[in-house]
C-alpha cells in the first residue's frame, strides 16, 4: 500500500479524537510512568520489579485501546435496522433500505453504515463461521446529515454486483461519530 494512504488514515483517526480519548491517553501515560517508577524503586526484588514492569507495559497498550472502544460504544450508541431488501431485476444488485436511530446522548455528524451478506447452510459449524467471513459487503457514508439525539434517518445501500442465488443472511452495523 501507499504511504500517503497510511498518512491519510492516521490523520483521519487523529481528527476524530475527542477530549475523552485524550483523557484515556493521559491516564494510561501517567499510570505507565507511576508503575515504572515503582518498578525502579523495587530493583532489589527482581521478580516483583519485572512483574510490575510487565504490568506497566501491558496497561500502557491495553488501557487506551480498550477504553476508547468501550467509551465510543457507549458515547455513540445507535440502532440500525433493515426495513426492506429488494433484488433488482435489470441489474445484478441488491437494494437494502433501513433506518438508523441515534440512541446516544450526542448528535452524530457522520455515520458509516455497513451491510454484510453471508451464506446460510444446514451445517451448524459452518453457520457459526460464515457470519465472521461475509462473502459480500457494502457501505455508505452519511456525512452531510446531522442526526440529533433520539432522531432517526433512513438509509439506502446498493450492494452490487450481487449474483449469489442461494440462501443468505444480511447483517447491518453502523459506526457513528
What percent of the chain lies above the pLDDT cut of 70? Answer: 98
pLDDT (tens digit per residue) in 57-115: 998 888 888 887 888 788 888 888 888 888 877 888 888 888 888 888 888 888 888 88
C-alpha grid cell, residue 110: 457522520
| Average model confidence (pLDDT) across the chain | 82
Phi/psi for 87 (5° steps) reads -85, 120
123, 126, 130, 131: CA torsion to nearest 10:
80
Q: How many residues appear in the chain?
A: 177
pLDDT score at 164:
65
Could you read off the pLDDT of 127-157 as tens digits, one per residue?
777 777 777 777 778 777 777 778 888 888 8
Task: Tell me which of 21-25, 136-140, 155-159, 165-169 is least confident.
Answer: 165-169
Rounded-to-integer distance, Cα 82 and Cα 15, Å: 30
**How much is the pLDDT for 34?**
93
133 DSSP 8-state letter: S
Domain limits, the chain: 3-75, 78-176
Distance CA 177, CA 29 (A): 25
Q: What's the pLDDT at 1?
A: 58
- According to CATH, the topology of domain 78-176 is Immunoglobulin-like (2.60.40)
> What pLDDT sits at residue 111?
83
Nearest CA among 41, 96, 103 for reference residue 74: 103
- pTM more than 0.85: no
Amino acid at each position: 500500500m501507499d504511504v500517503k494512504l497510511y498518512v491519510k488514515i492516521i490523520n483521519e483517526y487523529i481528527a476524530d479524537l475527542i477530549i475523552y480519548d485524550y483523557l484515556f491517553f493521559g491516564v494510561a501515560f501517567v499510570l505507565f510512568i507511576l508503575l515504572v517508577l515503582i518498578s525502579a524503586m523495587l530493583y532489589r526484588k527482581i521478580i516483583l520489579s519485572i512483574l510490575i514492569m510487565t504490568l506497566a507495559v501491558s496497561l500502557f497498550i491495553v488501557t487506551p485501546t480498550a477504553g476508547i472502544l468501550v467509551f465510543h460504544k457507549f458515547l455513540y450508541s445507535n440502532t440500525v435496522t433493515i426495513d426492506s431488501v429488494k433484488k433488482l431485476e435489470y441489474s445484478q444488485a441488491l437494494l437494502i433500505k433501513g433506518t438508523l436511530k441515534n440512541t446516544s446522548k450526542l448528535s452524530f455528524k457522520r455515520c458509516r453504515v455497513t451491510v454484510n451478506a453471508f451464506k446460510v447452510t444446514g451445517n451448524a459449524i459452518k453457520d457459526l463461521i460464515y457470519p465472521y467471513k461475509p462473502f459480500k459487503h457494502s457501505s455508505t457514508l452519511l456525512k452531510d446529515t446531522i442526526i440529533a439525539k433520539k432522531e432517526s434517518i433512513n438509509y439506502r445501500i446498493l450492494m452490487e454486483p450481487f449474483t449469489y442465488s442461494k440462501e443468505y443472511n444480511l447483517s447491518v452495523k453502523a459506526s457513528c461519530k
